[in-house]
Structure 1
C-alpha cells in the first residue's frame, strides 16, 4: 500500500511539472519588445486554439500525450517494484540493526567506565547490612526487656503469695 501511495505521489508530481511547463510555454517572450506577452485563451492563460489543433501541454499532440502516459505508467510500475524491494531491504536492515544492538549490549554488560554499577552494588550491600544490624538491634532490645518484664511478673506473684499467707 505504501508503494502504491509513493507511485501515485510520483505520478502526480510528474503531472504537476508537465502542467507547469505547459503554463510556462503559454507565455513566450516577444521578439520585438523583449517583454512577455500573454497568449489568447481563457482567463487563466490557456491557449484553446492549441488544443483545437491537437497540441496540448506545451506543444504535445495526442499521440505524444499517449506515449507520455504509457511511459508514466511504466515508471509507476517500476517505482512500485522498487518499493517492494525497498520493503524487503528495510526488513533485513532492521534485523541487522537489532542484532547489532543486542551484541553491543552483550559486550558492554560488564563495561562500567564511571563506576555507577559498582557504586549501586556497594549501596545495595550497605542497605542489606543496615537492615541486618537493625534486626539484630531489635532482637537485642527485646531480649533486654524480657528480664524486666519477668521481674515484674515475679513481683506480682510474690505479692499474691504474701497476701494468701496472711
Structure 2
C-alpha cells in the first residue's frame, strides 16, 4: 500500500497545489532532474485531462495530441505553464492508453467491487485509473510508488479523500497484478 493510506497527507485544493506538493517530495526516479520531474507531473495532469476530453467529446487520440501540442502547451493550467509538460511522455501515454485499452480496462475492472462496471465510474476517475494503469503495466522504468502517489494526488486535487483512497486502493491492486 502507498503512503496515502494513513490519510495524513495534506489535501491540495488545486492542480497547481498538486504540482507543488508532488514536486516537494522525492517521488520520481532519481535519474530525472527537478525540472524533468515537474514536467512529468504536469504531463500526467494533462494526460488525465486529454483522456477525459477524448471520452466526453469522442475526439480521436491523434487529434487531441495535436491540439495539446499545437495549442494547449502554449497556455497554462491554473497558472502553471503548460510548456513545462513532458510532451513526449504525454503523447506516448495518450496513444498507448487508447491502443492498449482492451488490456488496461480489464485490469481496472478486476479491482472494482463485484457488480461494478467501469462505465459507472466518474469519467475523470476512469481517466486517472487508465493513465495510472498504463504506467504500472507498460512503464516499468518508473517506480510503482511514484506512479501511485502521483495519481492519488491528482485524484485528491479533483475530488478529495474518498476518491483518492479509491484510486490508491485500485492502483495498489493493479500494481500487485502487473508488477509481480
Which TM-score tier does this pair reach, normalised by the shorter chain? under 0.3
The structure with the larger Rg is 1
Q: Give the structure with the higher percent helix.
A: 1
Q: Give me the TM-score of the superposition, normalised by structure 2.
A: 0.18
TM-score (norm 1): 0.19
